[in-house]
Amino acid sequence: MEHGYAKGSDKANGAGFKQSTGRPIITISLLAVVRMARKESVNMEKRISVNREICSTCGLCAEVCPNQIMKKDGEAGIVFRQDRIFLCIKCGQCMAICPSKAIVVEGLDYARDFFALPTGTVGEMSFLEMIKTRRAIRVFKDQPVPREMLEKVVEAITFAPPGFTPIKAEIVVVQDTGVIRQALPEMVKFYDDLVRALSHPVARFFVRRKAGPEKFKILTQHVVPMMKTRLPELKEGTEDTITRYAPAMIIFHAHRDAENYEEDIHIAVTYGFLAAHALGLGGSAMTLIPPAIQRSPVLRKLFSIPDSNVVVGSMILGYPKYRYQRGIKRNLKGVTWI
């Protein structure tokens, strides 16, 4: 999943506070957190390397990196952006797509941490092979998704088992790419306001109280530092960290008084991803989108979200632009057999 800080509930999304007009109180600022992270960038550069002897400079690593830490720079080939290198989360996307195995992240090994992807269509594969080949897709072809394909994804979502019947989840299927592009500036404004608000001690105090320690940590250590580096390009319209230029999107919401709706929706999103993959589509859960819609009256109206409902999740969809060379092995934090 993309970086985010909440499952989308009203309780979780404690953002949108106005800036304090008083004199700042002495405190550990967000800027200090970012500075500490950037101190690590020197070490991070040593931990991410490119073997230029075998690198074909195809630029695929730069295309699929969630935070676009590297870029293709003419004769210099693949270079790292100093203002973003500290955002590396060692997700392995760059190594998974590199045709020549030229890029290496410290701690990851091609032989140990990756596996060859099965060939053939999804319809010919076993279930385990299918889920091995499914992955988050954030770079799409400039090609609309036919309504009949989206209808099949929606049908698959209806088979997601609810904790308590009847199903509480509601969805909005956005097949008009123009609507997604129309929403983006409002989402950018939401995160711009959030970054500025969290630079003020009073606002930080109230956000921490409303969001809780875990979500506040995600906010300050992941979302805000990332947004601080991305907002200039987002405002200029030269980059889209939030909707990833996706041609289609599905928004999941539910009545705030419904039972078990958050867990049900997360299961439903998973069913949607598997269906999309089986149909030859790609997608990603975008946890940056729900908070913006939840807190913005403009976006709620644009996406027809009732006032009584909470925006919980979203997924972007489209045809994958690139094919990955290998899958990434993941280990659980722990497994106990009894």
- How many other CB atoms sit within 10 Å of the CB of residue 95? 23
Residue 66, pLDDT > 70, answer yes
pLDDT digits (tens, 9 = 90+) for 177-232: 999 999 999 999 999 999 999 989 998 998 888 888 998 999 999 999 999 999 99
Percent of the chain's residues with pLDDT above 90: 64
Name the band, by pLDDT with cuts 50, 70 and 90, for residue 147.
very high
- Rg of the chain over all Cα atoms, to the nearest angstrom: 21
Confidence grade of residue 151 (pLDDT, cut at 50, 70, 90): very high
Q: Is the pTM of this model over 0.75?
A: no
CA-nearest of 289, 338, 331 to 90 is 331
Rounded to an integer, what distance in angstroms lies between the CA atom of residue 54 and that of residue 101? 8
Is a pLDDT exceeding 70 seen at residue 22?
Answer: no
Cα–Cα nearest to 91, from 67, 74, 75: 67
Tokens at 132, concatenated: 């091995």
Pairwise CA distance, residues 147 & 84, whole Å: 37
CA angle 76/77/79 to nearest 5° reads 85
E strand or H helix at 326: strand 326-328
Q: Which pLDDT value is given to residue 33?
A: 41
Tally of CA atoms within 13 A in the half-sphere of 9 that contains its CB: 18
SS3 content of the chain, % helix, strand, coil (to 5): 45, 15, 45
- Whether residue 162 is preceded by a cis peptide bond, meaning omega within 30 degrees of 0, is no
Write down the pLDDT at residue 46.
58
Summarize the confidence of residues 80-102 as an average pLDDT. Answer: 90
What is the CA angle 54-57-58, rounded to 5?
Answer: 115
Residue 222 Cα distances to 39, 50, 144, angstroms: 16, 25, 31
